[in-house]
Structure 1
Amino acid sequence: MPGGSIYVQQDEKFTGSSPQWWYEKFWREDAQNRRRSRALKAAVGFVAGFVLALRFGLPYAALYGLLAAGLVAAVDWFIDWRAFWATAVWRGRRRGEVITGRLLRRSLGKHGYQVLDGRAIRDQASIDHLVIGPGGVWVVDNESWSPDTEIATYGGRLFFGEKYGTKVAKPLVGAAEAFAELLTRETGVKVTIAPLLAVHCGMLPRGGSLTVEGITLLKPRLVARRIRQTATPQFDDAQIELLARTAARELQRV
């Protein structure tokens, strides 16, 4: 590791592999501990189910104990699996833009919104999704950080753990401004664009969203809801179609 002493043998955990690789390795190695913990919880569930069955005079109390144990084990397994699956984008096992694009189309398509994926202005900016609909226009990007990275705001600034987040926020704000300028110029329709960042892994504040430094960071499942919360219609069907056709023509696919 950088700055380490030449007289002290370095721990192999800190050399040669990515955090994602080690995360998966430790997860696999911890499987036995998780099984032991699950068995203990299931045993407690069995006792609770058995005692409750006796308390209410139910027949076959042992059967109720087994059902309670199975339910506890299943819930515990699901919680563990969901925690691991939530890191899939960060680990490179899934693509964030595919997940968010699917969510946007499923939630917004029936409400008159159009979603264009992977668009760019040559030598200026690129984004994962451009959303155009009655409530306005949005650019949506996707990012992922390690599961223990706290995403927060202090003094009006964005932080990822102990690191400033301006390098993440500023390009997305710039992309939104560049796209808005292009669409306004080419269509004659005044466009302002709100930048959103779908966070696939990392610790957002309670509620799953955060607005700071000109962007809104939120969980992917909340992006479409945030867009639909715009109550005042800005564009009619003809303007939406004009903006979407112009964006498809003028913006490069990436």
Structure 2
Amino acid sequence: MPGGSIYVQQDEKFTGSSPQWWYEKFWREGAQSRRRSRMVKAAVGAVAGFALALRFTLPAPVLYAVALGGVVAGIDWWLDWRAFRATAVWRGRRRGEVITGRLLRRSLGRQGYRVLDGRAIRDQASIDHLVIGPGGVWIVDNESWSPDTEIASYNGRLFFGEKYGTKTAKPLCDAAQAFAELLGRETGIQISISPLMAVHCGMLPRGGSLTAEGVTFLKPRLVARHIRANQKALLDAAQIELLARTAARELQRV
């Protein structure tokens, strides 16, 4: 960008050639078309409301027509806004790690889980969240792909659209192993760590989750539910506290 530092790499999300920039441009240009479509839908809703009022001999059918038309328009606007907001992390307008961290603390904090954000092993691995609780230990990373990218598994292989996903899954599995080895060595508690990926934008299968190549990919709102679903009490309160203190001491903050 003009006036930017030559020492700081520019983020392509904010350049005129990025998919994100074009997505926002087309979204703005399509506003008038969406308004026209919304007016048509509202008109259909109004006609339906008027017809229903006459069918059931309700008083003031015009009011029912206006009310149903307004409801249809409101729902259509909300669906459009929700679809656009779902791309906010991909567009660089929101930070995925902030969203997921808030969801994890809100859902798990009162159930004996400890959530540590932004942790790393020097020159080896870094992750967005480390979750330690009664059901075990998890690492959670955040990622976002374009809205039309299908995340799928075929014969055990991970795919993002037509591309293999091994380069995304393997580093996260390696990080889980590295974190488990460090925490086990420092605490004497032998643990295994499950890697999770919070997907902020992209097309996951119905249900919002997928497991492939050792990593479970989920919508952010489902991460805490997935962790709580492990009903086995693998760690007691003292072990959770020891692991959390050790992680806070031995792992770098990023």
Q: TM-score range by the shorter chain?
A: over 0.9
Cα distance between partner residues in 2 of 1:197 and 1:216: 6
Cα distance between partner residues in 1 of 2:45 and 2:143: 39
Question: What does residue 78 of structure 1 align with?
Answer: 78
Question: What does residue 132 of structure 1 align with?
Answer: 132
Offset at 1:16?
5.2
Cα distance between partner residues in 1 of 2:229 and 2:141: 19
Deviations for 1:51-93, whole angstroms, at most 9, x for unmatched residues?
Answer: 0000100111011000000000000000000000000000000
Question: What does residue 4 of structure 2 align with?
Answer: none
Cα distance between partner residues in 1 of 2:51 and 2:208: 39
Q: Which residues in structure 2 correspond to 1:75-114 (within 5 Å)?
A: 75-114=75-114
Cα distance between partner residues in 2 of 1:172 and 1:108: 22
Q: Does 1:167 align with 2:167?
A: yes
SS, match of residue 244 in structure 1: helix
Q: Which residues in structure 2 correspond to 1:20-169 (within 5 Å)?
A: 20-169=20-169
Cα distance between partner residues in 2 of 1:141 and 1:162: 22
Cα distance between partner residues in 1 of 2:206 and 2:46: 34
Question: What does residue 212 of structure 1 align with?
Answer: 212
Question: What does residue 3 of structure 2 align with?
Answer: none
Mark the runs of 5 or more structure 1 residues left unpaired by the alignment: 1-14
Q: Which amino acid aligns with 1:134?
A: P
Mark the runs of 5 or more structure 2 residues left unpaired by the alignment: 1-14
Question: What does residue 192 of structure 2 align with?
Answer: 192
Q: Which amino acid aligns with 1:71?
A: V
Cα distance between partner residues in 2 of 1:186 and 1:165: 32
- How many residues are paired up? 240
Cα distance between partner residues in 1 of 2:155 and 2:163: 14
TM-score normalised to the size of structure 2? 0.94
Distance 1:181 1:108, change over 3 A: same
Cα distance between partner residues in 2 of 1:212 and 1:160: 11
Question: What does residue 8 of structure 1 align with?
Answer: none
Cα distance between partner residues in 2 of 1:219 and 1:233: 25
Cα distance between partner residues in 1 of 2:60 and 2:135: 59
SS, match of residue 129 in structure 2: strand
Q: Is the contact made by 2:114 and 2:244 (CA closer than 8 Å) also made in structure 1?
A: yes
Q: Report the RMSD for the aligned CA atoms in angstroms.
A: 0.8
Deviations for 1:149-170, whole angstroms, at most 9, x for unmatched residues?
Answer: 0000011100000000000000
Q: Is the contact made by 2:16 and 2:22 (CA closer than 8 Å) also made in structure 1?
A: no
Q: Does 1:247 align with 2:247?
A: yes
Distance 1:18 1:209, change over 3 A: same
Q: Is the contact made by 2:197 and 2:216 (CA closer than 8 Å) also made in structure 1?
A: yes
